[in-house]
Structure 1
């Protein structure tokens, strides 16, 4: 059986991630970090002075000195520890503020980067994974960089300063005491190697677990109707068990550190007591009892922070995993962005042309292979076809949520790629199937697309979309997560009200009335007519009766344009459109 290769303790990727974090979030805070370092150095010097004063106090006692001298030693020791106590308060105070600001800036940058990523990223990435990076991983990393690192630096400074003092006092005894150092280093390497692997697996399992919770909560209606509560509970408990087992591996491995340090400490204390006692008893060494007691106390001061320092290095690998996971988000780069020299000026009333367009979600299954069609400027065009024929994809390509892989889309004579993305999307109002409703009032949900709109404008949009009465009934009450307290028709009327309020020159209606009953659809048909007047309107419709008066109807089948024309002409051709229309009419008439 081949033994798995051992990972490097700090890979080049780890070092690069640390440099990235320092450069972007800590470097500008250097003055405050130096302040923290200065206060930590004071803490270390206090311990060194405490040892010196302790030795002086012991000599006063052993050599029958004056009580006044002993009192003075006690006063100085108390003052030293008061200084250390003050530093112990100020260090975390400053360190936490620095790291909280760093976490804030990192989240700000993550959110900004996230908003710039392509739609395709969100379609392939679990939302639980994104939430985990933005919330738990950044917070855990901040706590580590702040309190944990400040405490570790304090412990390291204490070890160095006190060790230096002990070496100065008795280099032979100190050299004897550090014989266990290679063993401690070996234990730390062993633990770090295994912690890093287990932590990576634990983070992946936690991301999957959070995603599972979100899926269960979002799908609770289906879960309840299908009586699958136990199935979902079992699924979540399986994830809970996996996280438990992985965290057990991490913590059991880390638990090896402390007993190893304790056994090493015991070995060292025996050496110091035995070797130091021999030095006191032997006339060959200039060592007295006060010196040995002080040295032993100094070793306690070294090993206690050394224990904490060992624990810190055990968690470094875990946090390097977190840092790499967070930075991975930055390695995702948007492909849909402004080209060099892109313009914001284009004729929004011009014809929109798809010229020999090729596009595929999956390279193995191309959707469009040379699709060409023209939507008349200022006119109503409709796209119909079976599910999966590419109707909604055309709207996504027009608004550049995806880029075409071949061919070209033009607004008048201006190619789509030569337009600034913000200016292009600012020219659209969209009423889509997947309506985003926030847990706020209906009023706020409408205002979302135009925060600067006046009250009169919002009321007019609500009246036009036939939802003003519902606003009066509900007032400022939130509509629940994802609009859970609203019907499908009410959600779509919010989307239509948004389109009225945005009042963009190009209107995209993607199944805009699919959730409306026939009576409501008739009520707002006149409003939709007003909304589309003078605008270039592209309608994706399943209910063919709703687009019978369109200026041009395009019929798609499996990504190919098979028919186009006006309603009556297409019926006369008796092709696919006529078949779809007759099948729907029969379905409605037959109930």
Structure 2
């Protein structure tokens, strides 16, 4: 199963007693406003103006309705009735135009804000260290970049604008009713505190459940990703029922949380309905008395218009209450998205970093101490030298730290102690982009995209010409494969390619990049002898005249290395040439003897 997302709030059994808007919520809203909405302020003012204009439509409708009722009940003039009907049609036609323009403008504003937010999130992600990606489930990133950001965009561009329209309607109509019938309106207003208190209580519950739902959704996406990525293994092992059970369990958890959230939200509408029933009873009873009693100058038209006005208040009021509750879910999403910016890169350029360095010099680990967890070092005072222009191999049992050394050389990690140098310059004194430009990497686990082989090779140098890409493919012995496949895509993650073809794509990329230092990480492992021979020939051409550092499990690939380092549990136990190490009859000789049969000797 996936690792927990450290940015997600931990579930709790009981909602915490906190205000509807915590200081963190206010800070997040201010951050989103400053970064993504403030620049659209003129357009937001336009939207706000149109929303206010929409609110006045209902106020004018009430005024016209009351006048129309008096025409019907009192004067009975047909001309006046026609004028009022035309006016009613006009104000609602105006509202219809606003109903078209407002979402068009607001969605455009929100879409721009979301696009900018995504760009900045992606840029921030690209600057984070490798360690972040090795400890963060891909599902958490997918959820933020896709689901949570899109949810914020919809909330800002649609839900909030609709709520703004409803709030304008409620406020404007309420002011009009309070002006027309202050006594009746005061009696109706006594239910407002009850509605507000209910919204506060429900909002706390929704915020808690929404946080748990985001966690559950992340786990669900992770489970899908793991299942789809490992479908070959699932099928071979006959574990379809196991994976189905995992997905069903994740789905069931989402279902339970969705029901809990909706159950909390469902309290709002009945509360408003009961409040509305109570108010309507007061208005009909009290208003009827005011019409009958000579002590009040109120007629039936005024009471009917007032009742219609209450309908116009309570209907959008219901939607406002739902908005306030859904706002809590949006605040959770905003907190999770902004939380990504709390992650900071530890591998950064030093203030005095240089761009120029001798790429043909020796690479040195000098008394390096390193561990993925600081309190559990993998290396202690490890010293190695990789000769410039030479081929150096690193071998040893699984878990001995071979690949980690390559990561330290490329400064994917910084050591806890000691120094990693190229020539006399520590790698942390070299600009990261210039340092990594000096390396080409050929690894066993190579990233392949669902495009043509030529496009996959071009990935490391998008500006390369077709001739340069084909030359790199030829050098990597891929010409026959390209001739057979042409421009056909290779399938998700290169599913339609063999392991050897993927390796040769990686080698072709290295040819196209033409970096002076080659890092080979298990580049020939898990290949049959014929395919390994092709890959080795290509690697031989690639490494000619360059500094080459090989990490290998299959020792047949390191026989010709200028120097071989043998590691065991993070310590250097042997070093020398192939012949020298065999003569020592130590760990290397034991490993080599155990693999002899696979070499066909």
- What's the TM-score bracket when you normalise by the shorter of the two chains? over 0.9
- Which residue matches 1:449? 460
Tell me whether 1:564 sits opposite 2:575 in the alignment.
Answer: yes
Superposition deviation, residue 116 in structure 1: 1.1
- Which residue matches 1:149? 160
Superposition deviation, residue 524 in structure 1: 4.4
Match of 2:509 among 484, 498, 502: 498
Superposition deviation, residue 38 in structure 1: 0.4
- Which residue matches 2:317? 306
Q: How does 1:89-238 map to 2 (within 5 A)?
A: 89-238=100-249
8 A Cα contact 1:554 1:561, kept in partner: yes
Superposition deviation, residue 115 in structure 1: 1.1
Match of 1:19 among 30, 35, 51: 30
Q: Deviations over 1:237-293 (max 9, x none)?
A: 011111000000001110111111111111111111111111111111111111111
Match of 1:477 among 478, 485, 488: 488
Tell me whether 1:536 sits opposite 2:547 in the alignment.
Answer: yes
Superposition deviation, residue 586 in structure 1: 4.4
- Which residue matches 2:254? 243
**Structure 2 counterpart SS, 1:307:** helix
Tell me whether 1:57 sits opposite 2:40 in the alignment.
Answer: no
8 A Cα contact 1:14 1:324, kept in partner: yes
Match of 1:385 among 371, 396, 409: 396
Q: Deviations over 1:273-324 (max 9, x none)?
A: 1111111111111111111111111111111111111111110111111111
- Which residue matches 2:533? 522
Q: Deviations over 1:75-110 (max 9, x none)?
A: 111111111111111111111111011111111111
Superposition deviation, residue 545 in structure 1: 2.2
Deviates more, 1:355-364 or 1:268-277: 355-364
8 A Cα contact 2:15 2:208, kept in partner: no
8 A Cα contact 2:15 2:205, kept in partner: no
- Which residue matches 2:8? none
- Which residue matches 1:286? 297
Find the aligned partners of 1:13 and 1:368 in 2 and give their Cα distance. Answer: 41
Unaligned runs of 5+ in 1: none
Tell me whether 1:418 sits opposite 2:448 in the alignment.
Answer: no
What root-mean-square deviation, in Å, do the aligned CA atoms of Structure 1 and Structure 2 show? Answer: 1.4
Unaligned runs of 5+ in 2: 1-12
Find the aligned partners of 1:38 and 1:484 in 2 and give their Cα distance. Answer: 55
- Which residue matches 1:80? 91
Q: How does 1:351-366 map to 2 (within 5 A)?
A: 351-366=362-377
Find the aligned partners of 2:342 and 2:311 in 1 and give their Cα distance. Answer: 46
CA 1:408–1:187: 2 relative to 1, 3 Å: same
Taking structure 2 as the reference length, the TM-score comes to 0.96
Superposition deviation, residue 7 in structure 1: 2.8
Match of 1:577 among 581, 588, 593: 588
Match of 2:445 among 416, 430, 434: 434
Superposition deviation, residue 361 in structure 1: 1.2
Q: Deviations over 1:129-170 (max 9, x none)?
A: 111111111111111111100010011011111100111111
Deviates more, 1:63-72 or 1:342-351: 63-72
CA 1:587–1:483: 2 relative to 1, 3 Å: closer
Find the aligned partners of 2:519 and 2:485 in 1 and give their Cα distance. Answer: 29
Find the aligned partners of 2:82 and 2:395 in 1 and give their Cα distance. Answer: 96
Q: How does 1:336-375 map to 2 (within 5 A)?
A: 336-375=347-386
Find the aligned partners of 1:549 and 1:164 in 2 and give their Cα distance. Answer: 90
Taking structure 1 as the reference length, the TM-score comes to 0.98
Deviates more, 1:31-40 or 1:545-554: 545-554
8 A Cα contact 1:464 1:524, kept in partner: no
CA 1:453–1:515: 2 relative to 1, 3 Å: farther
Superposition deviation, residue 587 in structure 1: 4.9
8 A Cα contact 2:374 2:416, kept in partner: no
Match of 2:77 among 43, 53, 66: 66
Tell me whether 1:253 sits opposite 2:264 in the alignment.
Answer: yes
CA 1:3–1:198: 2 relative to 1, 3 Å: closer
8 A Cα contact 1:358 1:406, kept in partner: yes
Deviates more, 1:114-123 or 1:510-519: 510-519
Superposition deviation, residue 589 in structure 1: 4.4
Find the aligned partners of 1:248 and 1:525 in 2 and give their Cα distance. Answer: 59
8 A Cα contact 1:177 1:271, kept in partner: yes
